[in-house]
């Protein structure tokens, strides 16, 4: 696998690569053409959506010539792999690793209805010795999943989930995979544990979703917020359809 510059990216670099990928989706012609083939109709515009105020969950809006539209949440990884390696299938599209940060909020707002989850997060993630690990059932995990992946505003819930791989230097999108929301969420719900699993300083709701302290440098704002991380494991990756690859 002909790889270069594979040093791990910092959190801010990962975030920037995601913003750059969203921007490229609005201007890269090959992306537009591939989406037109997938949706089987011409696209008028692809625009970035304003995610403010937090926590709106759609990143781009696709408007079609026929007057209809849809939205999508985009998750990006960067690569400096040669185009020949990508085309030959030597590059995995599985986004595993530590995963994507998809949400962050105060500990008591992760699932306000579950005092068990709040206390567990305080004990495990924030190291509060006055708190204990509680049993957190699957239904709570499902609430967290829906809130933190889809958001609460119907108008800004993503209709599709898109995975992209972009060039670390040029930001050009090299690969794109897509999955309708219902199929993606059904798969994510299927993978939830019956009860959450605490490991070290993280609370795992499934092999794909876990919660941890945001942390950061001394200048970091709200380091004790809890962030939700999403990992795309092979079984979840399998529900995506590859629609573009260089």
Residue 83 pLDDT = 44
H-assigned helices in 40-180? 83-87, 115-124, 138-145
Residue 90 pLDDT = 43
Grouping H, G, I as helix, E, B as strand and the rest as coil, residue 11 is helix
Residue 13 pLDDT = 59
Residue 87 pLDDT = 46
Residue 72 pLDDT = 96
Residue 17 pLDDT = 67
Residue 57 pLDDT = 92
Residue 164 pLDDT = 93
Domain spans of the chain?
Answer: 11-245
* pTM score, whole prediction: 0.84
d(CA 10, CA 99): 13
Mark the ranges of the chain whose per-residue pLDDT is less than 70: 1-15, 17-18, 51-55, 79-98, 216-221
Question: Measured between alpha carbons, how far is residue 134 from residues 117, 128, 198, 208, 217 in Å?
Answer: 7, 13, 10, 21, 30
């Amino acid at each position: 696998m002909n790889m270069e510059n594979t040093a791990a990216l910092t959190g801010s670099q990962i975030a920037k690569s995601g913003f750059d990928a969203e921007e490229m989706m609005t201007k890269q012609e090959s992306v537009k053409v591939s989406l037109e083939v997938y949706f089987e109709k011409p696209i008028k515009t692809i625009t970035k959506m304003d995610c403010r105020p937090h926590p709106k969950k759609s990143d781009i809006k696709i408007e079609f010539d026929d007057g209809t539209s849809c939205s999508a949440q985009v998750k990006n990884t960067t690569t400096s792999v040669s185009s020949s390696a990508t085309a030959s299938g030597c590059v995995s599209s599985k986004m595993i690793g530590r995963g994507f940060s998809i949400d962050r909020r105060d500990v008591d707002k992760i699932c306000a209805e579950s005092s068990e989850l709040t206390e567990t997060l305080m004990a495990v993630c924030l190291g509060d010795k006055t708190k204990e690990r509680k049993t957190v059932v699957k239904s709570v995990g499902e609430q967290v999943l829906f809130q933190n992946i889809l958001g609460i505003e119907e108008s800004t819930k993503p209709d599709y989930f898109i995975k992209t791989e972009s060039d670390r230097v040029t930001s050009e999108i090299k690969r794109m995979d897509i999955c309708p929301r219902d199929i993606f969420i059904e798969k994510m719900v299927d993978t939830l544990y019956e009860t959450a699993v605490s490991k070290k300083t993280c609370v795992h709701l499934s092999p794909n979703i876990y919660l941890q302290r945001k942390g950061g440098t001394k200048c970091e704002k709200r380091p004790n917020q809890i962030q939700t991380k999403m990992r795309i494991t092979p079984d979840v990756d399998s529900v995506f359809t590859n629609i573009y690859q260089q």
